[in-house]
């Protein structure tokens, strides 16, 4: 039989439910793979093998009794270090939280366990989840398994690097400005940022989040196949009373025309020729699958949406962030703070209320667009995955990164879903596209993503390149 760690999550769960393999065998294979390759990439920064095996044994007991353990029966899944998992520190990559041990799981983690998943380990992220690169002073740097000179992405960089290298079959990530979509893009796999309110979120270990983070942050799956993302979303999105933003929206919406738009240069963004080629190729793939595909010149006020995202993020609690970053001392987080100071200095006192009003206008306009075109293809980033730590290469390097990430920064302002689909490699460098749909229409993102995936994606999992 193929090494169990290589299998898609859905195939592994089927084998476990039908007793062709045991959850313990899958857990042992996952632990062996972690031990074999994690020292090279530093994607998983905490795990407890005995507890992993105990979880697997519980799944096997349910199967032996003839009970259904759930859609992720025995599937090893990793959890990001900014998300509460009972018994582990929610370090968020900062020395200030090294001893902040969670006493309860976040809702999405509980949902994964109820779906039969086996929690394999904790995935690395940048300090305070602030960067599209993954390093911190607590756990060190994570390396991209496809090309160690490239960023693995951030902030869910450890999650994506682990999945690409075969450490776990799915990963839980979070996204407020591309933190699921960009790591998936950089590591040559897929990642889904769900709609606001789709997946319940709450960290009992930490203070209540500011309103901007509540409205824009999203928890979702990172995986190697689109079908795995679908099942991961199904598992994560179960109801939990702890999140008042959770919405009981169906996972499958009404049928829509197979009609997609492509926008190559949203907001006048200048994109690399390889990124343009990937978008046009994705459009051809959809057309081959029976979709009507049109190219449009622009999207509604995407730069204004990115500005709203930025102001809702920076306009509440920036002084506290500056103080925390200074106490931690991480150079990456420091670079983000320093680049943001001038922007924050000019914000009006009523910035949050102003931006919430602007958010309403923007959301209305995007809803109108996504009614005309049920699916929209955008760049994930204007560039191929960056050289690692490009944002630390002076003011010009930081500006280059910030501008390139425009298509990812804008969507959270409206709480929209977005799916990063990996479509190929340029040498050893991954490339892909971003699929956008209306609120609670992740099913349309996944439908288009599956058609694109069916016509070729980079091989995965892979052995890390040294």
3-class DSSP assignment, residue 16: helix
Q: Which residues contact 324 (CB under 8 A, 6 or more apart)?
A: 94, 96, 128
Residue with tokens 């929206």: 249
CB 150 within 8 A of CB 426: no
Cβ atoms of 183 and 152 closer than 8 Å = yes
- Phi then psi for residue 265, to 5 deg, are -130, 65
**Strand partners of residue 436:** 376, 418
Catalytic amino acids?
80, 155, 179
Asked if residues 430 and 381 have their Cβ atoms less than 8 Å apart, the reply is: no
**Would you say 395 and 401 are in contact if contact means Cβ atoms under 8 Å apart?**
no
- The rounded distance, in Å, linking the Cα atoms of 311 and 174 is 19
Q: From 233, 293, 261, select the one nearest 442 (Cα to Cα).
A: 233
Question: Residues 394, 387: contact at Cβ < 8 Å?
Answer: no
The string of DSSP codes covering 255-272 is ----EEEE-SSGGG----
Sequence-ordered strand ranges (E) for 100-169:
118-123, 135-136, 140-141
* Three-class secondary structure of residue 434 per DSSP: strand
Residue 281 to residues 190, 275, 366, 381, 427, Cα–Cα distance (Å): 17, 10, 24, 16, 17
DSSP single-letter state for residue 220 = E
Please say whether the beta carbons of 214 and 119 come within 8 A. Answer: no
Cα(332)–Cα(336) distance, integer angstroms:
7
**Nearest Cα residue to 52 out of 71, 29, 18:** 29
CA nearest 267: which of 239, 311, 304? 304
- Provide the b/e sequence for 288-325 (b: ≥16 CB within 10 Å): ebebebeeeeebbbbebbbbbbbbbbbbbebeebbebb
Helix (H) or strand (E) holding 39: helix 23-41
């Amino acid at each position: 039989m193929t090494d169990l760690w290589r299998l898609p999550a859905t195939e592994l769960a089927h084998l476990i439910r039908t007793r062709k393999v045991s959850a313990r065998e899958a857990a042992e294979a996952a632990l062996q793979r972690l031990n074999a390759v994690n020292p090279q990439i530093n994607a998983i920064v905490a795990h407890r093998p005995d507890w992993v095996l105990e979880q697997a044994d519980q799944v096997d007991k349910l199967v032996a009794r003839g009970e259904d353990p759930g859609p992720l029966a025995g599937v090893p899944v990793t959890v990001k270090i900014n998300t509460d998992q009972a018994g582990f520190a929610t370090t968020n990559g900062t020395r200030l939280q090294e001893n902040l041990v969670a006493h309860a799981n976040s809702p999405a983690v509980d949902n994964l366990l109820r779906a039969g998943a086996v929690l394999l380990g904790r995935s690395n992220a940048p300090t305070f989840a602030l960067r599209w690169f993954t390093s911190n002073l607590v756990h060190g740097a994570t390396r991209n398994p496809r090309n160690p000179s490239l960023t693995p992405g951030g902030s869910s960089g450890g999650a994506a690097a682990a999945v690409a290298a075969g450490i776990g079959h799915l990963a839980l990530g979070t996204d407020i400005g591309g933190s699921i979509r960009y790591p998936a893009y950089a590591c040559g796999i897929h990642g889904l940022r769900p709609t606001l309110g789709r997946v319940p979120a709450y960290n009992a270990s930490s203070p209540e989040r500011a309103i901007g983070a509540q409205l824009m942050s999203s928890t979702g799956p990172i995986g190697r196949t689109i079908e795995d993302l679908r099942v991961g979303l199904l598992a994560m999105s179960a109801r939990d009373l702890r999140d008042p933003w959770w919405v009981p929206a169906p996972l499958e919406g009404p049928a829509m025309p197979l009609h997609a738009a492509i926008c190559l240069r949203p907001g006048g963004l200048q994109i690399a020729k390889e990124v343009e080629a990937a978008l046009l190729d994705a459009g051809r793939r959809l057309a081959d699958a029976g979709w009507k595909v049109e190219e449009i010149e622009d999207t509604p006020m995407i730069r204004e949406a990115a500005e709203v995202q930025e102001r809702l993020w920076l306009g509440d609690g920036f002084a506290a962030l500056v103080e925390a970053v200074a106490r931690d001392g991480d150079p990456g987080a420091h670079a983000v703070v320093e680049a943001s100071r001038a922007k924050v200095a000019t914000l009006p006192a009523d910035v949050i209320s102003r931006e919430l009003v602007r958010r309403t206008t923007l959301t209305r306009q995007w809803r109108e667009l996504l009614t005309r075109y049920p699916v929209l293809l955008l760049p994930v980033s204007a560039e191929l995955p960056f050289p690692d730590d490009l944002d630390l290469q002076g003011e010009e390097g930081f500006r280059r990164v910030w501008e390139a990430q425009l298509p990812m920064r804008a969507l959270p302002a409206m709480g929209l879903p977005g799916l990063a689909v990996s479509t190929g490699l340029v040498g050893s460098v991954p490339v892909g596209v971003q699929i956008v749909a209306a609120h609670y229409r992740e099913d349309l993102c996944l439908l288009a993503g599956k058609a694109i995936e069916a016509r070729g994606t980079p091989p995965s999992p892979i052995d890390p390149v040294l």
